[in-house]
Amino acid sequence: MSLDSVTTSIDDAVSGFFEPVAEKLGEIVFYSVPVGGTELPLIVAWLVVAGLVFTTWFGFLQVRRFKLAVDVVRGKHDDHGSAGEVNHFQALTAAVSGTVGLGNIAGVAVAVSVGGPGATFWMILCGLLGMATKFVEVTLGVKYREVHEDGTVSGGPMHYLPKGLADRFGRGGARLGKVLAVLASVMILFFGLFGGNLFQVNQSYTQLVSVAGGEDGALGSSAGALFFGILVAALVGIVLLGGIRSIASVTSRLVPAMALMYIAACLVVLAVNVTALPGAVGEIIEGAFNPEGVAGGILGALIVGFKRAAFSNEAGLGSAPIAHAAVKTKHPASEGLVALLEPFIDTVVICTMTALTIVVANPASWGEAREGEDIGGVTITSDAFETVLPWFPYVLTVAVLLFAISTVLTWGYYGLKAWTYLFGRSRTSETVFKSLYTLLAVAGSLLTLQTLIDLADAVLFMLAVINIVGLYLLAPVVKRELNTFLDAVRDRRGGEGAKQEQETVDAG
């Protein structure tokens, strides 16, 4: 029996077993209601409303405290000697690597095809709102993290839900928190294995094959797929063995390099088409409030934009606090401020640059997609770059590969923390998970397992329901933490000012 027939049999068996579950769970989690001629998924409304509530509750801190957040990332307010494993910048890049990926490249193309250019405006707005939600969950992730005897750290909703609810509501809160923590761990683990691992490897392999001669090329064979899977698995396994320090060391170099390369390519396309840029911006603004050819009109463009942003930056899903919890700091809110930069980088910057590049370049495939043709999102984005940089599809393939690998690494860490919460923290337990995770990376190049991936998506967004309920209940704790950190910043600034004044007197 050939490898192709074996993988096909496995795909069919998995689909046959899990398809009814995935379909039913998807109907529940992504339940939509008709609004103005289009469908609004309630989970998207749930995420957006949370962003609105926290933006108001914290007085638009994503605007008022943006500079302070940048200062913290730069190390200006570092707490030397604090518990933790990585610095603020490394924690940020590790978490960003889990959100920046194919969604920024392919998902945005789909959004501006279905929702028109105006979807970009609503995508940006949703990203800005998500900054406040990310601040809240990451602050809680650091406050209620668990620092182990060996100096390693565990955090995330599986820690702040039981501890935080116990602090606020006593024994009843503790019982509820433990149930929610187990559910959160299961959901994070399931998505990590299939959405954050298998899907990323599968899609990056597909893109690589498409630029290397297609299925008739050397990489298009089963042997080529197996080689690619083993190579990715080996890289992931080596980095995973080093824990968050190793992952952060890789992502702190990889993520900025990838982002800068991608943004630079966008800027080249925009520069070449600079005369068309004002018209493109106008098209985005006009399309946001007066879209043509979009089902549902303004609401249609709004829903598509919000959906893309919410699914891209993961604000409110509870995943990012796991990476941020490892930061070296005495003030949880300092890392919360760092985290609010995540949706800004992921959605406001990278997603917007992708959308602008497509609108300005206006490739033929985008027009075909807007007319209803089934065109892949990566193809549209690649064609947009190709209008100016004929060789860029190859660079884009490298970007897709790097984005995918960094996402696999970060979700490997998330999955490990969920696994050890459920099954105990020991060398044997961690080895079992890492072995399973690397084996699934190999399988990702051979199997599609689309049904499992659909199920993983539904499970991850179920986590958002649980997580955000906890965020609402624990918001007063976050406000206290923010005020404590701001007081510390003011004291530090006052001390520095007094020191400079004394130095001036001494010099005189």
| Three-state SS letters, 191-253 | HHHHHHHHHHHHHHHHHHHHHCCHHHCHHHCHHHHHHHHHHHHHHHHHHHHCHHHHHHHHHHH
Q: Residue 304's pLDDT is what?
A: 79
Task: Round to whole Å and give the CA distance between 57 and 167.
Answer: 21
Q: Residue 49's pLDDT is what?
A: 92
Structural domains of the chain, ranges and CATH numbers in brackets:
41-78+85-488 (1.20.1740.10)
**From the centroid of its chain, how far is CA 433?**
22
Task: Round to whole Å and give the CA distance between 471 and 477.
Answer: 10
* Nearest alpha-carbon partner for 288 in 126, 33, 128, 115: 115
Which pair of tokens denotes residue 220? Answer: 């298009």
Q: Residue 113 has what DSSP assignment?
A: H
| Three-state SS letters, 375-416 | CCHHHHHHHHHHCCCCCHHHHHHHHHHHHHHHHHHHHHHHHH
Task: Round to whole Å and give the CA distance between 243 and 258.
Answer: 22
Which pair of tokens denotes residue 430? Answer: 């961690």
Task: Round to whole Å and give the CA distance between 203 and 101.
Answer: 11
Task: Round to whole Å and give the CA distance between 340 and 257.
Answer: 20
Task: Please report, in tens digits, the pLDDT of each residue of the chain (508 residues total).
Answer: 666 677 777 767 777 777 888 888 888 888 888 876 777 888 888 988 999 999 999 999 999 999 999 999 988 877 777 777 888 888 888 888 777 766 677 778 888 888 888 888 998 998 999 999 999 999 999 999 998 887 888 999 999 999 999 999 998 889 999 999 999 999 999 888 888 888 888 877 777 777 766 666 656 677 778 888 888 888 888 887 777 777 777 777 777 887 888 888 889 999 999 998 999 899 889 888 877 656 556 777 788 788 878 777 788 889 899 989 989 999 999 999 999 999 999 888 888 898 999 999 988 888 888 887 877 777 888 888 888 888 877 777 787 788 788 888 888 889 999 999 999 888 899 889 998 998 888 887 777 777 777 888 888 888 899 999 999 999 999 999 999 999 988 887 776 554 554 444 444 4
Q: Residue 504's pLDDT is what?
A: 43
Backbone φ/ψ region at 213: left (φ over 0), alpha (ψ -120 to 50), beta: left
Q: Find tokens 């979700």 and name the residue.
A: 411
Q: Write the burial class of residue 1 (CB in 10 Å: 0-12 exposed, 13-18 middle, 19+ buried).
A: exposed
Which pair of tokens denotes residue 413? Answer: 């860490």
* Nearest alpha-carbon partner for 138 in 388, 325, 375, 362: 325
Which residues fall within 8 angstroms of residue 437, CB to CB, at 6 or more apart?
192, 193, 197, 236, 237, 240, 412, 415, 416
- β-partners of residue 35 are 38
Q: Residue 86 has what DSSP assignment?
A: B
385-403: burial string, b at 16+ Cβ within 10 Å, e else: bbbbbeebbeebbebbbbb
In the three-class reduction of DSSP (H, G, I as helix; E, B as strand; rest coil), residue 45 is classed as: helix
Query: Using an 8 Å Cβ cutoff, are 338 and 74 in contact?
Result: no
Which residues fall within 8 angstroms of residue 26, CB to CB, at 6 or more apart?
454, 455, 457, 458
Radius of gyration of the chain (CA): 23
Angle at 144 between CA 467 and CA 52, to 5 degrees: 40
Q: Residue 192's pLDDT is what?
A: 87
Task: Round to whole Å and give the CA distance between 159 and 370.
Answer: 45
Task: Round to whole Å and give the CA distance between 143 and 161.
Answer: 11
In the three-class reduction of DSSP (H, G, I as helix; E, B as strand; rest coil), residue 277 is classed as: helix
DSSP percent split of the chain into helix, strand, coil, nearest 5 = 80, 5, 15
Q: Residue 219's pLDDT is what?
A: 65
* Nearest alpha-carbon partner for 185 in 416, 394, 412, 469: 416
Does this model's pTM top 0.75? My answer is yes
